[in-house]
Amino acid sequence: MINATWVVLLFCISFDESSRPIVIAHRGASGYAVEHTESSKTLAHAQGADYIEQDVVLSKDRQFIVSHDITMEETTNVEERYPDRAREDGRYYFADFTWQEIQQLHTHERTKRGSDTPAIPGRFPGTAGQRVVRLSDEIALLKGLDATTGKNTGLYIELKSPKFHKKEFQTSMGEALLQLLEQYGIDGQSRKCFVQCFEPEELIDLHDRLHCKLPLIQLLGKKPSDDDVVNIARYAQGIGPSLEGLAIRTPSGDIESTGLVESAKKAGMQVHPYTVRKEMQPSWSTSMDETHRVLVDKLKVDGFFTDFPDLGRQAVDRNTGTQKE
């Protein structure tokens, strides 16, 4: 059962967003600029994202680094800069490098492991040559952008591989995150912030032991049962399923819900699916426009992750009748 505090908080979030789906910039405006860079986040802010995502990992000196991966070679020039620092598995881990060392690297568009081939071909060529950023850097960046534009852009932080980090550092990733956010006065109200994770144990610890006041989102790799949804609602305020698990296309061509959105809403949770991309659509959709229409009009999700925040913003405004002339 969801306690009264969370009901009030969720109501405030929904009210803040005028009951429209929130547009969440996936790793920033990553369809246009290298993921998790300052340019990607600045562009996402300019394109009207309601929330901007920060995947976080820990460095050797316990700095929160904004990165989707715990390893470095697919998004940085670490192999060139530190050729002898790989582990026995051939991978380079943020956990083995200090923040001072990480600052010597530059980022590039994500490549397939073991090659220079872009993970998503045709987006944009070459490298941005930008630095890796810390979570504290990004918080300062977005705070500054909000101050100059009058916006209140939310943070959407994903804890990456907490079990790995606990084994490496014998420390709670969630507890360290709350300590950092407290330094910046981020409480989920004056500064909007979600915390998400694939590992339920970490979210349960945040809820039960650490009494986290920020709304927690359980990321899902596969469609949960109704009993699973009820259990998740005990410690989380929402779910983050993949687009694939939300709907099906029938033989007659109609798109029908799998019931997951309805089940989650019945349990009092928000639904923030991932990820809308130009280059690939879920099996139930034939175009990006159709994906947007189903999410906003048919399924009525509470928000969605997108690599293209401008197109997500346009779709929400158009489909909810709030587009400016």
Please report the domains of the chain, with CATH numbers, ordered by start residue.
4-319 (3.20.20.190)
What per-residue confidence (pLDDT) applies to 15?
A: 37
Q: In the prediction, which pLDDT does 5 show? A: 43
d(CA 150, CA 199): 35
With 90 as the cut, is the pLDDT of residue 64 above it? yes
pLDDT class of 22 with cuts at 50, 70, 90? very high
With H, G, I as helix, E, B as strand and everything else as coil, classify residue 23. strand
Which residues touch 238 (CB under 8 Å, ≥6 apart)? 194, 215, 216, 217, 218, 264, 269, 270, 271, 272, 302
Burial code (b: 16+ CB inside 10 Å, e: under 16) for 257-275 equals bbebbebbbebebbbbbbb
Mean pLDDT of all residues in the chain?
92
DSSP 8-state secondary structure symbol assigned to residue 243? G
- How far apart CA 25 and CA 50 sit, in angstroms, is 8
Residue 168 has pLDDT above 90, yes or no: yes
Structure-model confidence comparison of residues 189 and 121, the more confident one: 121
Between 113 and 194, residue with greater pLDDT = 194
User: Distance (Å, rounded) from C-alpha 119 to C-alpha 126?
Assistant: 13
Active site residue 26: yes
Q: How far is CA 323 from CA 25, 70, 148, 301, 315, in A?
A: 19, 39, 23, 19, 9
Confidence tier at 4 by pLDDT (50, 70, 90) = very low
Number of Cβ atoms within 10 Å of the Cβ of 256: 12
The catalytic position among 45, 68, 272, 292 is 68
- 108 near 76, Cβ under 8 Å? yes
Q: Give the C-alpha separation, 300 to 291, whole Å.
A: 12
Q: What percent of the chain has pLDDT over 70?
A: 91
Taking only the tens place, the pLDDT of each residue in 223-269 is 999 999 999 999 999 999 999 999 999 999 999 999 999 999 999 99
Tell me the C-alpha distance between 272 and 238, whole Å: 7
pLDDT at 123: 78
What integer pLDDT is reported at residue 125 of this predicted model?
Answer: 59
Is residue 43 pLDDT above 60, yes or no? yes
- pLDDT beyond 60 at 12: no
117-123 mean pLDDT: 82
State residue 18's pLDDT score.
56
Residue 283 neighbours by CB under 8 Å, 6+ apart: 244, 248, 249
Q: How far is the C-alpha of 264 from the C-alpha of 246, rounded, in Å?
A: 11
CA distance 170 to 189: 31
Residue 163 has pLDDT above 80, yes or no: yes
Question: d(Cα 41, Cα 191) in Å, to the nearest integer?
Answer: 17
Q: Does 200 have pLDDT greater than 60?
A: yes
Q: Reply yes or no on whether 207 is catalytic.
A: no
CB of 258 within 8 A of CB of 223? yes
